Amino acid sequence: MGVSRVRSRTFLLVVAGLVGSLIGSHSQPTAAAQELLMLPVDVPMAGAGFRGAPPAFSVPVGGEYDVRSINGRAQVFTVRRADGTTYAEAVVDSLGRAVSGRWFDAKNNLLTATFQRLPAAPLAASQTSRGPASVRRPSSRARMASNCASETWAGIGAVWLSTQVWYFVAGSTPEGLDVDNTESSLRGAAGEWYDNENNCGVVDEASVALAYGGRIASSFGRNDLSTRGFGDVAEIGCSTVAVACTQIWPGDGNPVITEADVRFNTFATWVNGGAQYAYDVWSVAAHETGHTIGMDEDFAGCVQCNVMWHEASTNDMSDRLLGLGDAVANNNRY
């Protein structure tokens, strides 16, 4: 991956007369200068108001940043402090959408990381209406063996070593979506990683521990409870079109995840199964569960070959089984 000085037009515009001096050194002497640096302005959850939310995505005074490419599919913005240590990173896809962000302490330990799953294609108004959808069953829930073409995977530098006990905020389930079936879908998504279920011939050698703790009434944010629930993702600083958002918190000063929250966007259409213009709860939850145990977005592999592929599609149940890269990563990391 090479360092790039090219900026996407979707970022903040700069004043032509000041570009040379500011961008050449990538330094930020003042807050006003930050407006000219063309950093991503939509890093998910940056500066949001919930407890444990990450700070704003910006260059510390005297610091700098650089940009590198991931296979031409994404750009990674790395922001450093004046002493050269990494302060934060953000990943932006080829459409100019910020997909993830992570923040580090002065010793380069991961403090927190945030992710948002974005749609593979823009949604029309008819695709974002709430309520039950007319179910059209796919011929199979299995990931096709022919899609087992990519062994690539990426981790975020932190894992969950103890048992992750997670809870379902059942009262947040959208109207028209059966609560019991949704609970089963969430449990199935966790079990997929627990048992390393795949259609690519990878034998389960992982010891990742995920345990369902039951239903709970809890809000999104750091409170020593790892939750899965529905809600308005814009309230936690994610894009209004994000399908789901996940925030993880490692323990202080170590690469071990201790809490993770997931919110599914109530302004998308959900179904427990396959349906035109609707997202399968299980499939999307499988991707978000991957984040809760330290898996990163997949930009390097083949399109939608792995659960951790960075985009979500409607009427798609294929992520009810891990892909080759997912299964290999699960074994390697756990």
In a 13 Å sphere around the CA of 277, the CA atoms on its Cβ side amount to: 14
- Distance CA(78)–CA(87), nearest Å, equals 8
Q: How many CB atoms lie within 10 A of CB 280?
A: 27
* CATH 3.40.390.10, domain 118-333, yes or no: yes
The identity of residue 133, as a single letter, is A
In 3-state terms, what secondary structure has residue 127? helix
Report the predicted TM-score, pTM, of the whole model to 2 decimal places.
0.85
Q: Do 166 and 211 meet the contact criterion of CB atoms below 8 Å apart?
A: yes
Q: How many CB atoms lie within 10 A of CB 254?
A: 12
User: pLDDT tens digits for the chain (334 residues)?
Assistant: 444 333 332 333 222 222 222 233 344 444 444 444 589 999 999 999 999 999 999 999 999 999 999 989 999 999 999 999 999 999 999 999 999 999 999 999 999 999 999 999 765 433 433 333 333 333 344 566 557 988 999 999 899 999 999 999 999 999 999 999 999 999 999 999 999 999 899 999 999 999 999 999 988 999 999 999 999 999 999 999 999 999 999 987 779 999 999 999 999 999 999 999 999 999 999 999 999 999 999 998 888 899 999 999 999 999 999 999 999 999 999 9
Domain ranges of the chain: 3-108, 118-333
240 closest CA partner among 84, 44, 61, 5:
44
- Which helix (H) or strand (E) element contains residue 223? none
Of 252, 250, 268, 270, give the one whose Cα is nearest residue 260: 250
Question: Three-state SS across 283-306?
Answer: HHHHHHHHHHCCECCECCCCCCCC
Amino acid (1-letter code) at residue 20: G
Structure tokens belonging to residue 65: 């940043």
Please give the single-letter amino acid code of residue 222. R
| CA distances to 100, 185, 274, 294, 312 from 242, in Å | 12, 20, 19, 20, 9
H or E stretch covering 281: helix 281-292
Q: Which two tokens stand for residue 15?
A: 């004043």
